[in-house]
Structure 1
C-alpha cells in the first residue's frame, strides 16, 4: 500500500482543499469522477511518448547493426526473439501479441463476477512486460507495431488509476475505464483523436456510445495533448502529395481495395491458423524450439532481402508516399508478410496495426504499377491500399479511414478511402466472417477465465 500513497495523498489533498469548497454536490461528484480520468489521460500520453522514443531507438539501433554486418541477424534476431518471448511467457502471458484482443476480452470480463480476472489481461505488470518485450523484439528486427500495445497499456493505466482512487469517491464504471483507456492509448500513439473515438465505437464497444461519450472525448483530448506536448503537433505520416481525382478513379480504387482487402483477410486467417498450430508445442522446450526457429527464419529473410524486410515499416511507408517514382521489389510484399507472421507468432508482444499499413502501402505501390496508374495518382492508390489491407485484418473500415486521414491531414481523400474500406470489408467478409482480433479475443477470454485472478490490477 505504501508505494501508492503519493497518488492517494494527492487525491486526499484535493478532496480536503478544493472539492469540499464546491457548493454543489453535483459539481463535486462530477469533479471527483473527472480527476482520475485526467490523471490517467496525462499518464497515458506521457507513457505513449516514452514508448515511441524507445521504439524508434530500438529500430534505429537494429538497422545500424545489420546495415554494417547483415550476418549478425543470425545471432541478434533469434536471441531477441527468445528474450522477448521468455519475458511474456514467464511474467505476463496476457501481454503477448497485439493488445487489442486483450482489451476486448477484458470488456467482456468487466462485471462483478469476473472483474478479478481482468488483471491477467490489463494491469501494470502486463503493461511493463508489454513495453519491454516489444522493444526487445524490435531490437531483433521484428515486424511489429506499438499502436495495439499502446491501447492495452492505456487501458492498464486507467484501470490502475481507477482502482487506487479513494473509496469514498464515486466509483468509475469498469467498462468505461477500459474503453476510455484504450481510446486514449490509440489517440496518443497515432496522434489521431478522432481515430480513437471511432475505434471505440466500431471495435471496442460495438454499441451506442452514449454511456462512454464524455469520458472518451475527454481522455483522447488530454492524452493526445500530453503526447503533443513532448512530440509536437506531428503527423504520423506527414503531408504526402495527393492530386484531385474524379469519378473515374473509383474504379481503380475499388480494384485496389478488393485486392488489398483480400490480402489482409487471407493474412489474418493464415496468422490465426499458425497460432492455432503452435498450440501443439505445449511444453517449454517445444515453445523454445518454436521461438528460436521463428527467429532463425526471420534472420534469413533479413540477410537475403535487406533492411526493407525488418522493422515497423514506417520508413518504407514514407518513402513510397513522398516519392511517387520510388521503386519497391515485388518480393518485399510476401517477405514482409512472412516476417509479420514469424514476429507475431513468436509469442512476444507486438501489434499488427502499423505493420498492416506498411504492407498495404507496398501492395498499393505494386498495384499502381500493374494498373499503369499515373504518377500523380500513385499516392492515392497507396493510401487506399493501406486502408483496405488494415480493414481486411481488423474489419474496422471507418477506423482505418479516419486514422489514415488524420495521419496525413488529407481530408480531400476521405471519400475514395471510404469507398475502398467498404469494398475491402465486403471482400474480407467473404474470406472469413470474423476478424483476427475477434478470434484472438476468444482465446484470451478463455485463458483469463482459467486464472485465479487478483483483486488489485497489478
Structure 2
C-alpha cells in the first residue's frame, strides 16, 4: 500500500508540474519557433534544388552552344530585374541588409514598413528572381536570399498567432529566423548562431539563446532530412603545413580584405550613380549592358566568371589543379559586381567566398606552394574576402570551418579574419550591409510618408550614405 501511495504521490506531483503555468507558457512560446524552423528547412531545401537545377541547366546550354549566352543572359537578367521592380522592390539583392533594416524598424508602429521588407510576396519574388538570374549565369548566391526568406517565414508565423498566445518579441522572431536561414542554407548551425550574435544583434545573447539554438537545430535537421548530412564543400586535405605558412596567410588576408572592401565600395558607387536615373529605360539599358558584359567575358575569356563560384572552390580544394590564372580574382570580383548591381535578387555570400578562394590559389601559385599549404591559403582567402564585405570575421571563420570540417586550422583562419577586418577599414569604415541597411530604412520611411517616388519607380538603388550608428540594429 505504501508503494501505491508513493507512486500516486509522484504522479500527482508530475501532473502538477505539467500544469504549471510557467511550463505551459514556455512550451507555447517555443512552438512558433519550432513550426517556423521546420517550414524554413523545407523551403531552403526546395530553393536549393531549384537554384542548383538552374545553374546546371546553364552549364548544359553553354556547353552545347556557348553563343546562347548572348541571348540567355540578357533575357534572364532583364526578366529577373523586372520581376523585382514590378512586384517587390525590396526583394532585390542579398536580403541580409533588408533583415537588418527590419530589425531596426521592428516596433509595432512600423508594421507597414516592415511588411515591405519581409513577407509572403518577398519570399515568392526572391525565389523566382534569383533562380532566373542563376539561369542566366549571374554570379550570385542563394545564401543571403535564404536569410531574408527565413526571416519572412518567422515574421509570418508571428503574425498569425492568436491574440491569446503568450507574447513573443517580433525582433526575437526575425533574428532567430535569419540565423535558421543561414544554418539551413550552408548546413552550418554554429555559423547561424554566430551570425545572429555578430551581425544582427547587439543585445544580450541570453534573450535569444534558447530560441536560436532550437530553431537552428530544427531548421538544419529539417533540411538534412531531405538532403542528407553533407558539408557545403567537403574535406580538403590540410596536414604537414609549412612552418612559414602564417606569412602566406597574412599576405592573402591583406589582399583579400582590401579587395573585398573595394568590391563593396564599387557596388555602392554604382548604386549612387544609378540612383540618378530618372527613367525606367535607363535601368533596363544598364541591366542589359551588365548581361552583355558578363556574357562577353564568359564567351571570350573564361566561363568561370559565371555562377556562384562554388565550382572554383571545389576545383581548387579537391583536385591536383590547384593554381588559377592571375586574372581569376578579377573575374570573380567583376562577375558579382555586374550581377549584384542589376537590382535583381541574388546574394553575395557565395560569390565572396569564391573570390577569396581564387585569391588564395593565385597567391599560392606565386610561391609554388604544396597542395596542403595551397588549401590553407584558399580557406584563408575565403574567410578574409567575406570579412572584407561583411566585417564579421568570426561568422566568416565559423562558416568556413563548418563547410570543410578542418578545425585544426582554426587559429590560421581567425588570424586571416582579424587581419582582413583591420585592413578593410582603409577602404571604408563600414560594411556593405551597413550602408545598404541604412538606405533601406530611409527608403521605407520616405515611401511610407509619400515624400519620394516609390523605389520601384526609380529602381530602388542605394546611395552610399554614411550609416547611422554603424552596426547598431
TM-score by structure 1 length?
0.92
Shift of the alpha carbon at 1:127? 1.1
For residues 136-170 of structure 1, give each alpha carbon's deviation from its aligned partner in whole angstroms, at most 9, with x where no partner exists: 00100000001111000000000001100111111
Equivalences for residues 125-144 of structure 1 within 5 A: 125-144=121-140
In the TM superposition, residue 20 of structure 1 has moved relative to its aligned partner by 13
Does 2:233 align with 1:237? yes
Q: Which moved more, 1:137-146 or 1:240-249?
A: 240-249
Q: Say which SS state the counterpart of residue 54 (structure 2) adopts.
A: helix
Q: 1:355 aligns with which of 339, 351, 355?
A: 351
Quick one: distance in 2 between partners of 1:200 and 1:303? 40
SS at match of 2:108: coil
Aligned partner of 1:171 in structure 2 is 167
What residue number does 1:217 align with? 213
- C-alpha contact 2:333 2:355 (8 A) present in aligned 1: yes
Rounded Cα–Cα distance in structure 2 between residues aligned with 1:353 and 1:391: 10
Runs (4+) off by over 4 Å:
19-22
CA distance in 1 between counterparts of 2:96 and 2:142 reads 11
Q: What is the distance in 2 between the residues matched to 1:71 and 1:256?
A: 36
Which residue is 1:14 aligned to?
A: none
Query: Which residue pairs with 2:142 in the alignment?
Result: 146
CA-based RMSD of the aligned residues comes to 1.6
Contact 1:42-1:223 at 8 Å conserved across structures: yes
Mark the runs of 5 or more structure 2 residues left unpaired by the alignment.
1-14, 450-473
1-side partners of 2:318 and 2:132: how far apart? 30
Distance in 1 of aligned mates of 2:242 and 2:359: 22
Q: 1:374 aligns with which of 337, 347, 370?
A: 370
Larger radius of gyration: 2
Query: CA offset at residue 21 of structure 1?
Result: 11
Matches within 5 A, 1:277-426: 277-426=273-422
Q: 1:120 aligned to 2:116?
A: yes
Tell me how far apart the structure 1 counterparts of residues 321 and 301 of structure 2 sit (CA, whole Å): 21
Give the match for residue 52 of structure 2: 56
Could you state the TM-score of these two structures normalised by the residue count of structure 2? Answer: 0.90
> How far apart are residue 245 of structure 1 and its match?
3.1
Matched, 1:258 2:259: no
Contact 2:17 2:23 in 1 (8 A): no
Q: Secondary structure at the match of 1:451?
A: helix
Q: Distance in 1 between matches of 2:447 and 2:163?
A: 26
User: CA 1:91 to 1:32, structure 2 compared with 1: closer, same or farther past 3 Å?
Assistant: same
Structure-2 separation of matches of 1:267 and 1:370: 23
Could you say which residue in structure 2 is the equivalent of 1:96? 92
Q: Contact (CA 8 Å) 1:195, 1:406: kept in 2 or not?
A: yes
Distance across 1 between alignment mates of 2:17 and 2:296: 66
Match among 23, 38, 44 for residue 19 of structure 2:
23
| CA shift digits 1:33-83 (9 cap, x unpaired) | 111111100000000000100110000001111111111111110010010
1:101 deviation in Å?
A: 0.3
Measured in 1, the distance between the counterparts of 2:202 and 2:110 equals 21
Distance 2:222 2:296 in 1: 40
What is the rounded CA distance, in whole Å, between the counterparts of 1:426 and 1:295 in structure 2? 34
Instruction: Answer whether contact 2:322 2:374 (CA < 8 A) is retained.
Output: no
Deviations 1:169-222 (A, max 9, x none): 112201101100000000000000000000011100033212111111111000
Deviations 1:347-384 (A, max 9, x none): 00001001100011111000011133223311001100
Q: Which residue of 2 aligns with 1:159?
A: 155
